[in-house]
Structure 1
Amino acid sequence: MNIAVWGSELIGWTAATAFAEFGNQVHINQTPESKQSLGEQSDPNSILFNEPGLLSHVKAQYDQDNLTFGDPDAALECPIQILALHPDQLPLAKTIIQRVNQQTQSQQLVVINYSTFGLGATDELASLLDTGKQQAIAYIPDQLSEGSAYDNFIKAKTLVIGCQSNEANKIIKALYKPFSRSLEQMMIVKRREAEFMKFAVNGMLALRLGYINELANLADLLNIDIDTITAGMGNDPRIGKHYLSPGCGFGGAHFSKSIQTMAQLLKTNRNSIILNTLLEENEKQKVLPFRKLWRHYKADVNNLKVAVWGLSFKPNTASIQNAPSLQVVETLLAQGCKVHAHDPQAMMNFAKRFPSDGKIAYYSSAIETLKDVDALIILTEWNEYWSPDYYQMLEMMNNPVIIDGRNIMDKELMESFGFVYYGVGR
């Protein structure tokens, strides 16, 4: 099949590459309007850089001529059009569909909208299609997790297709057939229901994260180990183990945006502030590691040297969108601390926001950041941070204070080595 992909969101690059690997001819397009409306946010290089491994898949398909770039005239003729645009680019999506209608000679057109524009947006786009031809649009919720996007796509457990056209559903099922072996469930629903499902799922996940963080903060006050509590909760089949890890707040670009959209829907239609409150508390949670440092040093933090491990908002990505590290480092610098930072992937992105200037320095290895520091703050649970050389850490640190914002270290073990250890709810 000939497929056109518009936009440079992660879902667009992932879907384009996966479809190309299974025999489709895929045209990827960046429009002038896209670059003008979003600037650096629409830079495909940043998306590919932030998602380790995806670039190699893209290059392989480009070398095999399965992926082409920058030929909008050819793209407009494709019978399958994919919208993978930024949430703020609904006007651009409408323009693309209007252009397709003007240029396409095909009687049959299927538009797949992966973009998270908002509730009812795909119906708006449907109104622009030519009802005299076999044209239809579907909304498919993006279920990718940054850091494992490609595997999420080709090994998806569920597929939700929001589409009211039987013919379009047949084409979409055929397109997804190579990835259907691992599917446990396929749902065909209305477009509006699929959009609502996307927001509802993200809202539920955020509520679990927010609730477990609240429990962890309470456990701190009551001298209770939150790990014991989460183990008991996770073993209850009504609850399960997923999204029960307390920490210093969640981040990510589109996850946070999705929660904001659902919060607005609830506030406008139900006068409910449950998600607004959650988002406010999550912002407070992001600076929890600094508050623990502040209390330990009795508010005297000026000129402290502080190592920070983990700058990305989650492991296996270089993205720092809404990451706790942004607030923590900004607060540390504002209070006169000197920061020694490390991250396996995100230092280049972070240095654009906080250039190395004598107040913050970046190190090629985590252990190097610890020389003469007064505390270590862990903000991202990268694999290499879980079991460092504790003896070497003690030798290098001026004061062996560890503030573990992700609870990756064992409290009793760390204290037995002589560290002063602070976790979240421990």
Structure 2
Amino acid sequence: MKIAVWGNELIGWTAATAFAEFGNQVHVNQDINRQQSLSEQSDANTILFNEPGLLTHVKAQYHQGNLVFGSPADALNCPVQILALNPDQFELAKDIIRAVNHQTQQQLIVINYSTFGLGATDQLAELLDSNKQQAIAYIPDQLSEGTAYDNFIKAKTLVIGCQSNEANTQIKALYKPFSRQLEQLLIVKRREAEFMKFAVNGMLALRLGYINELANLADQLSIDIDTIISGMGSDPRIGKHYLSPGCGFGGAHFSKSIQNMAELLSTNRNSIILNTLLEENEKQKVLPFRKLWQHYKTDVKHRKIAVWGLSFKPNTASIQNAPSLQVIKTLLAQGCQIQAHDPQAILNFSRQFPVNGQIAYYDKATDALKDADALIILTEWNEYWSPDYYEMLELMKSPVIIDGRNIMDKELMESFGFIYYGIGR
């Protein structure tokens, strides 16, 4: 099958690579008016570098000839068109549909992965020619940055939002190689699939926001939130997922989806529940700094602060909406000296905060600890969970740990002589 993929989103590159690996010829394009090579697209696209292993998959399929970076005209002639565009590229999506209609006379299936908003896929459907057996489906992606490829090829759930039986049959056939571990297949209307995407992310965000509120309250009441989480997670009505308190959630798409749902609730229901959650999440991001500020009784100027973790989550180099952005900005504004480490995100972060007299980056986590007045942990990378505590004590000027992800054991840290602050602990 010949497939065209338009856009620079993670779901687009992941789907393109996965479909190519199972025998399809996939044309990847970003512009309907000009051709771009793989090197041009990869150089301009940080997603391929942020997602572990994805660029390797892309290059392998490119060299095998399954991924094609050719002319837009060839892409527009493909019988399957995939839209994986940024949320603000809705007008480009319309232009692509119009161009496809002008170019092709054959049966056409459009798969929209883009998160444009509720009803957007229906608007794109109006641009199709039903007389040519053209149909469009919205498929909400369920990828998690850091494990996107595995999420796609080992999907547990597939939601297809489409009103065409013929198109649904073809889409299921296209997805068959990735359906071997499928536990649930839902065929729904386009608007229902779009709403489902917002609803799921909203629910996850509410769980994260609620557990953070409980953790902050536990701090004030001298209660260990870990004990409370154990009890909550044991209740089958609640479960253990998304019950990890921390210094706020980030990520471009997760946050954007919640914002879209917040706008829907506000416009149609006068509800501010998600707006409030987003506001509180921004406050939560700077909670590690507030703990530092309180520990040193507002005297933080010129203090050396080590920071472990710059990406918004582990296993990605992405820093979009990451708590580290807020924390580092605040530390710099207060005159702190910052010594930062991250396994993957230093390059991206240094573009926004270049090395200068106030901030430096280190290839080894322990090197960032030298003469530090405190360590702030913002991302739960695996290598931070069980460090050499004796080496940390030797390197740090003051053994103060502010654990924004609760990855360390409070009692153990205190037994070593650290002054430990967690979230709700």
Give the TM-score of the pair, scaled to structure 1.
0.97
Structural mapping, 1:238-387, within 5 Å: 238-387=237-386
Could you tell me which residue of structure 2 aligns to residue 69 of structure 1?
69
Q: Is the 8 A contact 1:248 1:406 kept in 2?
A: yes
Q: Secondary structure at the match of 1:45?
A: coil
How far apart are the structure 1 equivalents of 2:269 and 2:349?
A: 39
Q: Is the 8 A contact 2:209 2:281 kept in 1?
A: yes
| Cα pair 2:32 2:72 within 8 Å, conserved | no
Structure 2 distance, partners of 1:159, 1:305, is 49
By how many angstroms is 1:267 displaced?
0.3
Secondary structure at the aligned position of 1:172 is classed as helix
- Matched-pair contact (CA < 8 Å) for 1:34–1:42: no
CA distance in 2, matches of 1:166, 1:234: 41
Q: Distance in 1 between matches of 2:263 and 2:32?
A: 31
CA–CA separation in structure 1 for the residues paired with 2:44 and 2:23: 23
| Cα pair 2:79 2:109 within 8 Å, conserved | yes
The residue aligned with 2:129 is: 130
Which whole-Å CA distance do the structure 1 matches of 2:311 and 2:32 have between them? 30
Letter in 2 for 1:225: D
Q: How does 1:2-401 map to 2 (within 5 A)?
A: 2-31=2-31, 45-106=45-106, 108-401=107-400
How far off its partner does 1:142 sit? 1.0
CA distance in structure 1 between the partners assigned to 2:341 and 2:348 by the alignment: 12
User: What is the CA deviation profile of residues 259-288 of structure 1, one whole-angstrom value per residue up to 9, with x for unaligned ones?
Assistant: 000000000000000000000000000000
Q: Secondary structure of the equivalent of 2:78?
A: coil
Q: Give the stretch that moved more between structures: 376-385 or 41-50.
A: 41-50
**What residue identity is the alignment partner of 1:373?**
A
In structure 2, the partner of 1:408 is 407
5+ residue gaps, structure 2, are none
Cα deviation for residue 49 of structure 1 reads: 0.5
Q: Distance between the aligned counterparts of 2:34 and 2:398, measured in 1? A: 50
Judge conservation of contact 2:34–2:72 (CA < 8 Å) in 1.
no
Q: Deviations over 1:201-232 (max 9, x none)?
A: 00000000000000000000000000011111
TM-superposed CA distance for 1:358, in Å, is: 1.4
Tell me, yes or no, if the aligned pair for 1:7 and 1:42 is still in contact at 8 Å. Answer: no
Residues 231-261 of structure 1, C-alpha deviation per residue, up to 9 Å, x if partnerless? 1111110001000000000000010000000
Comparing 55-64 with 284-293, which one deviates more in the overlay? 55-64
Does the residue aligned with 1:376 lie in a helix, a strand or coil?
A: strand
- Where 1:247 maps in the other structure, the secondary structure is coil
Q: Which residue identity does 1:370 align to in structure 2?
A: L
CA distance in 1: counterparts of 2:331 and 2:197, whole angstroms: 36
Tell me which residue corresponds to 1:418. 417
Conservation of the 8 A alpha-carbon contact between 1:302 and 1:337: yes
Quote the Cα distance in structure 2 between the aligned partners of 1:258 and 1:33. 29
1:160 is matched by which residue type in structure 2? V
The offset of 1:70, in angstroms, is: 3.6
Counterparts of 1:84 and 1:34, CA distance in 2? 18
Q: Distance in 2 between matches of 1:155 and 1:246?
A: 28
Could you say what secondary structure the match of 1:61 adopts? helix
Alpha-carbon distance in structure 1 between the residues aligned to 2:342 and 2:32: 34
Deviation >2 Å, runs of 4+: 32-35, 40-45
Amino acid at match of 2:72: P
Deviation at 1:131, TM superposition (A): 1.9
Alpha-carbon spacing, 1:34–1:311, altered in 2? closer, same or farther (3 Å): farther
Q: Verify the 8 A CA contact 2:5 2:84 in the aligned structure 1.
A: yes
Tell me, yes or no, if the aligned pair for 2:34 and 2:71 is still in contact at 8 Å. no
CA contact (8 A) 1:34 1:92 kept: no
Specify whether residues 143 and 41 from structure 1 end up closer, same or farther in structure 2 by C-alpha distance, changes over 3 A only: farther
**Counterpart code for 2:144:** S
Is the contact between residue 32 and residue 96 of structure 2 (CA under 8 Å) also seen in structure 1? no
TM-score normalised to the size of structure 2?
0.97
Give the C-alpha shift of residue 132 in structure 1: 1.3
SS at structure 2 position matched to 1:289: helix
Q: Write the deviation string for residues 154-192 of structure 1: whole angstroms up to 9, x where unpaired.
A: 011000000000000011000000011100000000000
How far residue 44 of structure 1 moved from its aligned partner, in angstroms, is 5.2
Structure 1 residues 202 and 34: CA distance shift in structure 2, 3 A? farther
Specify the code of the residue in structure 1 equivalent to 2:293: W
Query: What secondary structure, in the 3-state scheme, does the structure 1 residue paired with 2:130 have?
Result: coil
Q: CA deviation at 1:71?
A: 1.6
> Tell me, what secondary structure is at the counterpart of 1:145?
coil
Distance between the aligned counterparts of 1:5 and 1:266, measured in 2? Answer: 32
In structure 1, distance between residues paired with 2:108 and 2:24: 16
Amino acid of the residue matched to residue 151 of structure 1? Answer: D
User: Secondary structure at 1:330's aligned position in 2?
Assistant: helix
**Whole-Å Cα distance in 2 between the matches of residues 228 and 160 of structure 1?**
36
Residues in 2 aligned to 1:343 and 1:32: alpha-carbon distance in whole angstroms: 37
| CA shift for structure 1 position 42 | 10
| Secondary structure in structure 2 of the residue aligned to 1:13 | helix
Q: Tell me, in whole angstroms, the C-alpha distance in 2 between the residues paired with 1:395 and 1:342.
A: 18
Q: Distance in 2 between matches of 1:146 and 1:400?
A: 33
Query: What amino acid sits opposite 2:122 in the alignment?
Result: D
Corresponding letter in the other structure for 2:86: H
**8 A contact 2:285–2:326 mirrored in 1:** yes
Between Structure 1 and Structure 2, how many residues are aligned?
A: 421
C-alpha distance after superposition, 1:39-95 (max 9, x if no partner): x99975311011011111111100100000142111010000000000001100000
